A and B are shown apart, each in its own frame.
Chain A
């Protein structure tokens, strides 16, 4: 099936780029192609200028589903990527503990996912992604299932950690406010066959790791309204 039409986009170093679009426009397909999980029918993905074959190294992947393994405790879940990469147990454990602490999960390392709240589970998933030290993070509506408060808090933490470590983020979302408040650039996609409708360089002054502060900026409202209009213009009746 031809889902994605002609489109081309790039992601710079330490840049947070959001992709919004009407539901069913192929956002997730796009992310799965970029992360090498499904091969593209045509076209090319380049990582650092090199054509991508298979799954790129040093990319982190996170979905709306937390995908935690129920038989592993929080810290064992965080350790998963490091185990697979063959990091020594002591060093790995150390890194995982630090990451859990930074995400406010101190004291929950030994808890099984089934005993944690949705927000905490997604934090464990975020820790699992960050602890492998990815240069690029591919996020597919990671916070969509959370309540507003948990969502804002985890967005703040994500932005803080990602910007401090100069990681690049490709964020797929249907939440326009999330896209504007988190990102440096927002790409609006059209209905299928998917192409790029518009690109917004988000220029919000002040601290970009505070989602509430971003929302108070007058630019914020303008961006949101304009993107909303774009989406409505492409939505199917």
Chain B
């Protein structure tokens, strides 16, 4: 009776420790190699950019240069506006991201409960999803003012439909045989929803979360473009209208850093909430 089990143990320990360590080292080395290549590629691009604009004032004015951009980043860091603007946009994005995903995912998952309701609301959802978010910005400024609220609403709106659709798709992708299994175990619809549908949908929900980080950021920045007194979108808009191209790029660098940070945060959350997918 224990043969299968011991076979499993055998499989587990069949790799000697040093072999496993060697494999791990190879993997770390490969990853380091990729990282080094990425840094190298970035360095080459920056060098090309810098050398092309170094002796050409017109080009330097139109395209900026890495050294000028870096100079602005240092300046913005010193006067505190770098942190301030990134913080403002970060808060708007994060609030919109959370609000949009909570609302969208709740609706998307609960649509699983009733196929007929889902069918009724489907065209409305598609219609909502097809509205270009930028077209809503002026109305949102009128309704919610020029402060934080209108940007949060813009970010929420850019997120909510995507979150709804991905989570509904996740809920629908549950293996019907697993639903049958739950039913033969005597599960109620609520138990199936809670113990099967939600965990099954997590993969799709997290795919949606990674996608909507960017969407929330776009929403917040569009909101800032329309009307604002602070934030990265405000900085980009203002610098752009003053033909200060290096400063536009400097603010863009901060925006990219913010996007990467928020994506990393979602990745950490995913690792925390889906531990079964991290097992080697």
Contact = CB atoms under 8 A, between A and B. Distances in A.
B5 A107 contact: yes
B1 A157 contact: yes
A32 B179 CA distance: 13
Given A37-B180, A67-B175, A70-B276, 4 more contacts: A67-B177, A81-B185, A83-B195, A84-B195
Contact of B11 (A36, A80, A117, A149): A117
Contacts of B175: 65, 67
Contacts of A105: 5
B1 A69 contact: no
B1 A80 contact: no
Interface of B: 1-5, 7-9, 11, 175, 177-178, 180-187, 191, 195-196, 199, 202, 274, 276-277, 279
Interface stretch (A17-25, A55-63, A188-196, A228-236): A55-63
A200 interface: no
Interface string A149-166: 110011011000000000
B184 A114 contact: no
Contacts of A120: 4-5, 8
Contacts of A104: 1-5
Nearest to A103: B1
27 contacts: A36-B184, A37-B184, A57-B186, A60-B184, A61-B180, A61-B184, A61-B185, A65-B177, A67-B178, A67-B181, A69-B178, A69-B199, A70-B277, A72-B276, A83-B195, A84-B187, A85-B186, A107-B5, A108-B5, A108-B8, A117-B7, A119-B7, A120-B4, A120-B8, A123-B4, A138-B184, A153-B1
A37 B183 CA distance: 8
